Amino acid sequence: MTSPVLATDSPTKKPKMGSLFGDLFKSLAISGLLIFLFYIILFDNTTDNSLIQKWPIPITNSTNLISSTPDPNNPMIKTNLSHLVFSIVGSMNTWKNKRHYSEAWWRPNVTRGYLFLDKPPKNEFLPWPSSAPPFRVNEKVKAIYERASNPSQVRIVRTILEMVREGDENVRWYVMTDDDTVLALDNLVEVLSKYDHTKYHYIGTSSECIRSNYDFSFEMAFGGAGYALSYPLASLVASKLDGCLNRYPTLRVSDFMLYSCLADLGVALTHNNGFHQIDLHGDISGLLSAHPQTPFLSLHHIDTVDPIFPNKTRLDSIKHLMKAVKVDPSRVLQQTICHHRPTNWSISISWGYSTNIYEATLPRSFLRRPLETFRPWRGQRSSRSPFYMFNTRWPTNNPCETPHVFFFHSTQESNDRIMNTYVRASSPGLAPCGNHSANHIQRIRVFSPAKLPLESNGRDCCDVVYGDGENTTEVRYRACTKEDVTA
């Protein structure tokens, strides 16, 4: 899981030092280390053409293919949800609270996979509901590896082996995740369908905190954020895992165990942004309001950050975000920026999450930097900045750089468009920046096309419709043109 906190349930307990990796585990001990990554890849200068070449969308008549090709593993058949098997690593002691997070994304009788528990479910959870992922109980590690220095982490990495042993058919990808993570399934399917599942693939991403990556590896996938192993790779790992774990009895963290075993097999990580480890604390709205242009795949550490929407519990916040995920997964958290010349306002939208109005014309390069509303993982705060794998902006008292913040409130779908309404959460409480205060704006309505998903790594442009004195602003999404000046 990558959440040693979860694994040990004792984030502050200090493991014994003195291993080869003493330094590494020192910070683990102090912090109970956790993790996520957020590469900000700028696709500026990438023309639409080159994107199309990079991500060709196969034009197939699936009716034809299915009827004429009996082999369901035929790579010509586009990967769909039925080709994925999920493994959620959980723990009986915490399942009561965490199960709601799995239920927020799990589709009963549709998604395939298992919840792996450290102990059999207590009576209060029986009979096991069909709305939850079916459970399995991990094998006892102590009986298998006497020398393992951290059995709870060995249990987690061995979940891969036990998952493969279940022998599910027509699997293209095994996806590992934690019980305090939510996934955006349709985006995950879309992203994985771009990779060749018949090859060895280890797809995931690192933490957003430099220190977390430094302590392990910048080339390691963090399991809380989730990662995918292609079927052939998972099968290979399953056959080699016990040998590998015996070679490295002193490793203490499951993700690093897997990373080490894969390295020995000659397999490197394919970084795919959009998995979010969230090794952060506090208010992550600054980060979620400036998500990089890449499909949103996962959100981890829901319990260690503030609720992502104001005035909502953690669970209600997640359910609220999932409403937007359901309506248009391709656009969720994708940042779109437009400028309104008559007022000099810049509006930044994080679809289905938030909108920000700035009372000045600010360049996109600036607005794409997350406002640093959050803090590094505890235990990492004493280390020196830079903390993060991406650039940030500090909140200031400059009225021109301080946003009016609105959060996603409701969504309405008609034939050809989706209308999301965002309501004000805060006012900067500062003098206006120019001659056009936005203080009286209470709501923002954002219109985007229905049934026209945003292409992977694509972008939308928008226009602002606003009449002086109105308390509502409208934003209309449209395709970008060559005339769109980006500042």
Work out whether 109 is an interface residue with ligand NAG (CB under 6 A).
Answer: yes
Work out whether 64 is an interface residue with ligand NAG (CB under 6 A).
Answer: yes
Work out whether 77 is an interface residue with ligand NAG (CB under 6 A).
Answer: yes
CA distance 61 to 359: 49
Q: How far is the CB of 129 from ligand NAG (least distance, A)?
A: 8
Q: How far is the CB of 436 from ligand NAG (least distance, A)?
A: 6
Q: Indicate the residue among 297 and 362 with the shorter CB distance to ligand NAG.
A: 362
Q: Indicate the residue among 45 and 435 with the shorter CB distance to ligand NAG.
A: 435
> Which residue in 130, 385, 414, 415 binds ligand NAG (CB under 6 A)?
130
Work out whether 50 is an interface residue with ligand NAG (CB under 6 A).
Answer: no
Work out whether 410 is an interface residue with ligand NAG (CB under 6 A).
Answer: no
| Residues between 151 and 170 that touch ligand NAG (CB under 6 A) | 170
> Which residue in 72, 75, 243, 363 binds ligand NAG (CB under 6 A)?
72
Residues 427-466 vs ligand NAG: string with x where CB under 6 A?
-------xxx-----x------------------------
Work out whether 311 is an interface residue with ligand NAG (CB under 6 A).
Answer: yes
How many residues bind ligand NAG (CB under 6 A)? The answer is 25
Work out whether 131 is an interface residue with ligand NAG (CB under 6 A).
Answer: yes
Q: How far is the CB of 176 from ligand NAG (least distance, A)?
A: 22
Work out whether 63 is an interface residue with ligand NAG (CB under 6 A).
Answer: yes
Name the residue with tokens 């360049």.
Answer: 363
Q: Is 367 exposed, middle or buried (0-12, 13-18, 19+ CB in 10 A)?
A: buried
Phi, psi of 25 (to 5 degrees): -85, -10
Phi, psi of 271 (to 5 degrees): -70, 125
Q: Indicate the residue among 123 and 435 with the shorter CB distance to ligand NAG.
A: 435
User: 231-247 and 254-264 helices cross at what angle (nearest 10)?
Assistant: 100
Residues near ligand NAG (CB under 6 A) are 61, 63-64, 66, 72, 77, 80, 82, 108-109, 130-131, 170, 310-311, 342, 344, 407, 423, 425, 434-436, 442, 471
